Chain A
Amino acid sequence: MTALSLTINGRAIGPIEVRDDLSMNDFLREVLGMTGTKFGCGAAQCLSCAVIVDEDGVSSTRPTCIAPAVDFDGLSIRTVEGHAAGGALTPLQVSFIEHFAFQCGYCTPGFLNEGQVLLERLARDPIPRAELERTITEALDGHLCRCSGYVKYHEAVRAVVLADAGRYLT
């Protein structure tokens, strides 16, 4: 057992004693009851369980199903529950809805987190317009969706970028 402390969606959690072989996914879902983060494969294949990790002002995603919870000690993470601060949806959340990006929605938390990380990366480091489609495909390709055929997810992310091109594109 190890005492685990971390920040989730801006809130300090812990210290909580956890088993060393408890996955981060089970910590979120079984210990904290935060089931917005999904379990899909348990093998880092579908990434529906990915959360955002903020380190040194840079965000990245990490799947939670294949990592021990204790690996997240001291980290600051964001989950699907934390995007809409104060109930106001983010531009990416609105774009997902308006583009009918998802169907069953089970993969949505992973796509939302990955898309958000991409937007934050582009805001730091804009890219030429011509590289946008390829960049989105590379960023989202780890995520599996069985319903949508991916087209509308990509369109939804692209729309957010193009709506604020000055910020995301060179």
Chain B
Amino acid sequence: MIRDWHLPALMAAAVLASALATGFSQPSVSATGQPATSVRSLAAPADFAHIADPKARSAAYFTELGKVLTNPRCTNCHPATDRPRQGDEARLHQPPVFRGVDGFGLETLRCNACHGKANFDPARMPGHEAWHLAPAEMAWEGKTVSQICEQIKDPKRNGNRTLADLVEHIGKDTLVGWAWHPGPGRTPLPGTQEEAGALVEAWAESGAYCP
């Protein structure tokens, strides 16, 4: 039998993914931390068909989407302060970096000084060509799903986006999409970006009610 080493929780998914990809003979990659299936998937809009009340169903879509929005992959860069967080345990970003005037960091340490155009897996370095912080008014860190829901509908606090824009942002934006492919050492968001997009769309079309 091949047993996995005791990886911290954040490594579990990455190891699982790469183990499958490389054909490692591992029947029981059972890392400490969350059970793989429950956090790794997102329900589809159809899964909520049993909810009769349309408002409740709409809110339920958002609650499901909340698994994504409150995940450290999202909240780390939608921080409550000017300093982002890092890693599955959402520790304060090291080295200390700050929002700066444009969300791309202070002049002395810009985001792209370290974050390249794409992930650099040999160094577990995440990257994207537009790596930056969400604006301060879009801070999600520490908020409940309900609070985020009210906030995300408010054009003053969502970057002046329409509901359709939100479907596009969450369902298609490539920086958002990074969070499903964060590279080794980080747990991806549950489900897929398409599934998340479908939830936003269902929520928007059903009146965008908040939980």
Chain A interfacial residues counted at CB < 8 A: 25
What is the distance, in angstroms, from A20's C-beta to the closest C-beta of chain B?
A: 10
Which residues on the A side are within 8 Å of B96 (C-beta)? 141-142
Q: In chain B, what residue has the closest Cβ to A53? A: B113
Chain B interfacial residues counted at CB < 8 A: 19
Question: By the criterion CB–CB under 8 Å, are B108 and A44 in contact?
Answer: no
8 pairs, A vs B, C-beta closer than 8 Å: A23-B123, A45-B95, A66-B116, A66-B120, A121-B107, A135-B108, A138-B109, A144-B95
In the bound complex, how far is the Cα of B6 from the Cα of A104, in angstroms? 35
**Which B101-157 residues sit within 8 Å CB-CB of chain A?**
106-110, 113-114, 116-117, 120-125
Question: By the criterion CB–CB under 8 Å, are A65 and B123 in contact?
Answer: yes
In the bound complex, how far is the Cα of B106 from the Cα of A135, in angstroms? 11
Q: In chain A, what residue has the closest Cβ to B94? A: A45
Question: By the criterion CB–CB under 8 Å, are A21 and B114 in contact?
Answer: no
**Other contacts beyond A67-B123, A118-B108, A142-B109: 16, CB < 8 A:** A21-B121, A42-B123, A44-B114, A44-B125, A45-B94, A47-B95, A60-B110, A65-B123, A66-B123, A66-B125, A67-B114, A67-B120, A121-B107, A138-B108, A138-B109, A144-B95
Q: Which residues of B contact A (CB under 8 A)?
A: 94-97, 106-110, 113-114, 116-117, 120-125
Is residue A43 within 8 Å, beta carbon to beta carbon, of the partner chain?
Answer: yes
Question: By the criterion CB–CB under 8 Å, are B113 and A68 in contact?
Answer: no
Which residues on the A side are within 8 Å of B114 (C-beta)? 44, 62-63, 66-67
